[in-house]
């Protein structure tokens, strides 16, 4: 039997790194069951084939009736590898509000990203609330090809639609004493089941220094592959920071707050010894449970050497040379 054929192509051999916490749980489960990898193969044999999954996901992307953007591509941002296939990016995502595994696309049904308001608040001269469509109308929307690097060592290269975070910051005029920006995701237990877990610091939060937030690369994203974000990618608005590990690129943002201290953040609160606040991509600093020397592209499985700041050093290295 050609078992390999029916394994989804995002399936990882057990010895490769996987999600922030699922990995350990899965090992524990296998150990407890005493059946090891045989039972794992058995479980997978019962899965849908990749063709079936592809058909379901494409149907869902169509059903979502995602509005297209006509943003022109900013040619300053080029890739050193092929774009990831839209399907491969859509079915392998981290969004812990919905799942601690990659099957987020199957679990976002109840999530309502419309209507949506983003509040910009804290130490600014002009605090404001924006309906998402007004914000999009106000901002210079463009498309950028960026590489994305998860701390788990998977990577993708995708076209994002959005606007520089800098432009929003200029609009609200931070006060001189503001040193950091804090970002917060929605909190709606009824729409995102895992938010009932008391053991996790919901809502998801992230943070940057103002200098990092003002960097040219920091991108507020409202679309992917030329249309609105599907729910699993963080609809209707998220952050994308290509020089940092993916967990900094917070999804489905409801609040942006300017503060005079370093904000507390989701992963850094949960497991500080594994997920630091800075989270700059660095091939020379291994994660405590796996190497960061190389990365694996979604879909193709191609391996590339990890680059310092994920290859974006010309833009950001100056932020960190003290």
> Which residues of this chain interact with ligand MTE, rule CB under 6 A?
93-97, 150, 185, 204, 232-233, 246-247, 249-252
- Return the one option of Mo ion, ligand MTE, none that residue 84 interacts with (CB less than 5 to 8 A, by type): none
Q: Which is nearer to ligand MTE, 161 or 249 (CB)?
A: 249
In whole angstroms, the minimum distance from the beta carbon of 207 to ligand MTE comes to 13
Judged by CB under 5 A, which stretch of 4-12, 60-68, 87-95, 314-322 contacts Mo ion? 87-95
Taking the least distance from each CB to ligand MTE, the nearer of 6 and 9 is 9
Min. distance of Cβ 312 from ligand MTE in angstroms?
Answer: 16
For residues 93-152, which are near Mo ion according to CB under 5 A?
A: 94, 150
Q: Decide whether 182 or 233 has the Cβ nearer to ligand MTE.
A: 233
**Burial 137-151, CB ≥16 within 10 A → b, else e:** eebebbbbbbbbbbb
Interaction between residue 246 and Mo ion (CB under 5 A): yes
Q: Could you report how far apart the first and last alpha carbons of the chain are, in Å?
A: 58
Does residue number 281 form part of the binding site for Mo ion (CB under 5 A)?
Answer: no
Q: C-beta of 33: minimal distance to Mo ion in Å?
A: 28
In 201-289, DSSP assigns E strands to: 205-209, 219-224, 227-228, 238-240, 253-259
- Cβ 158 to Mo ion shortest distance, Å: 14
Reported for 211-216, long-range contacts at CB under 8 A and 24+ positions apart, including other chains, are 211/319, 212/241, 212/316, 212/319, 213/165, 213/166, 213/169, 213/181, 214/165, 214/166, 214/169, 215/166, 215/315, 215/316, 215/319, 216/164, 216/166, 216/315
Q: How far is the CB of 286 from ligand MTE (least distance, A)?
A: 17
For residue 75, the tally of other CB atoms under 10 A from its CB is 9
With CA atoms as reference, report the closest residue to 77 among 163, 146, 162: 146
Q: Does 203 bind Mo ion (CB under 5 A)?
A: no
Residue ranges in contact with Mo ion by CB under 5 A? 94, 150, 246-247
């Amino acid at each position: 039997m050609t078992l390999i054929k029916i394994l989804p192509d995002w399936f990882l051999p057990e010895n490769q790194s996987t999600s922030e916490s699922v990995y350990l749980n899965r090992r524990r489960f296998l150990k407890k069951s005493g059946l090891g990898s045989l039972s794992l193969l058995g479980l997978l044999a019962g899965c849908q084939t990749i063709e079936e999954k592809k058909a379901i996901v494409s149907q869902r992307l169509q059903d979502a009736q995602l509005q297209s953007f006509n943003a022109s591509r900013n040619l300053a941002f080029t890739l050193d590898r092929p774009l990831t296939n839209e399907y491969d990016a859509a079915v392998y995502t981290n969004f812990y509000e919905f799942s601690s595994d990659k099957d987020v696309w199957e679990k976002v049904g109840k999530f309502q990203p419309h209507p949506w308001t983003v509040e910009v608040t804290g130490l600014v001269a002009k605090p404001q609330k924006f309906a998402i469509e007004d914000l999009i109308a106000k901002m210079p929307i463009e498309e950028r090809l960026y590489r994305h690097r998860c701390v788990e060592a998977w990577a993708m290269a995708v076209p994002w639609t959005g606007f520089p975070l800098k432009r929003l910051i200029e609009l609200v005029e931070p006060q001189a004493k503001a040193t950091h920006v804090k970002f917060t995701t929605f909190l709606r237990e009824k729409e995102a089941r895992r938010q009932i877990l008391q053991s996790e610091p919901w809502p998801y939060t992230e943070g940057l220094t103002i200098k990092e937030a003002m960097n040219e690369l920091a991108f507020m994203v409202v679309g992917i592959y030329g249309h609105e974000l599907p729910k699993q990618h963080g609809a209707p608005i998220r952050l994308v920071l290509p020089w940092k590990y993916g967990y900094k690129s917070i999804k489905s943002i409801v609040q942006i707050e300017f503060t005079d201290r370093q904000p507390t953040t989701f992963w850094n609160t949960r497991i500080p010894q594994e997920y630091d606040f800075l989270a700059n991509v660095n091939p020379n600093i291994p994660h405590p449970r796996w190497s960061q020397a190389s990365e694996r592209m979604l879909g193709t499985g191609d391996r590339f050497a990890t680059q310092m700041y994920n290859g974006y050093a010309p833009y950001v290295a100056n932020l960190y040379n003290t």
